[in-house]
Structure 1
């Protein structure tokens, strides 16, 4: 039998707090979502001024990253390169902005961000994950 780390409520709080702080420092209005390794929503925060639509897109990006075990940009890039078969895959949101959380080589969840340029969404998600990794040391 194999064991692996799992996200707990305090981890989710750490990620969301750090990611939201990073977004606010840049005056970016976004929604931040954290899911477990099965893509189930553990926490979400829609910052003041973020579009209501971001509350649907953000958890979808996170779920895609968790289930696919890749950044969600992997699927967007593949589709844009002509791999249209990915459009039939039942992933909710195959747009850049979903980042898997990897511990000891295992995906234990993901962060999804929506509301600004997709590269900035990724920056925010990675800031949240970095805070978690720092807190775990």
Structure 2
């Protein structure tokens, strides 16, 4: 993912979060889960930093939104303990796949610091999937 695309996604996400009155951490990773851009908004809780990064990595590495993974990562699910792989993943809302014009995964966006449902809504809007 080109750094200008990553920065544009961060800016768009920040604007959406600000409009909704939330201070969040925003992580954008490339398709391999490597950090491409990051922003901690003023007053975002420090614990949200790691969560935002893990949400973005989860979406990119598995090419699916983190909330979808959560449906199967429960104790009775087919992929229980998946969160313990790849240096730690997240299986709740706020991590979404970033797609190119052809529908291919080019990265992941992780948003953390608001309630989970709000993190998810902000991330989906930021990537044009609201």
- Interval containing the TM-score (normalised by the shorter chain): 0.7 to 0.9
Q: Corresponding residue for 1:33?
A: 27
Whether the 8 Å contact between 2:25 and 2:48 is mirrored in structure 1 is yes
Q: Does 2:81 match 1:87?
A: yes
User: Pairwise mapping of residues 1-137 of structure 1 onto structure 2 (< 5 A)?
Assistant: 7-80=1-74, 82-83=76-77, 85-88=79-82, 90-91=85-86, 92-103=89-100, 104-130=102-128
Structure 2 unaligned segments of length 5 or more: list them: none
SS of equivalent residue, structure 1 residue 80? coil
Q: Provide structure 1 residue ranges, at least 5 long, that are not aligned to the other structure.
A: 1-6, 131-137
Q: What SS is found at the alignment partner of 2:81?
A: helix
2:73 and 2:82 in contact (8 A); partners too: no
The count of residues paired between Structure 1 and Structure 2 equals 125
Structure-1-length-normalised TM-score: 0.83
Cα-Cα RMSD:
1.8
Distance 1:86 1:122 in 2: 22
CA contact (8 A) 2:33 2:60 kept: yes
Shift in Å at residue 86 of structure 1? 2.6
Distance in 2, matches of 1:79 and 1:110, equals 19
Q: Secondary structure at the match of 1:44?
A: strand
| Contact 2:58–2:66 (CA under 8 A) maintained in structure 1 | yes
| Structure of larger gyration radius | 1
1:50-78 alpha-carbon deviations (Å, 9 max, x no partner): 11011110010000000011001112121
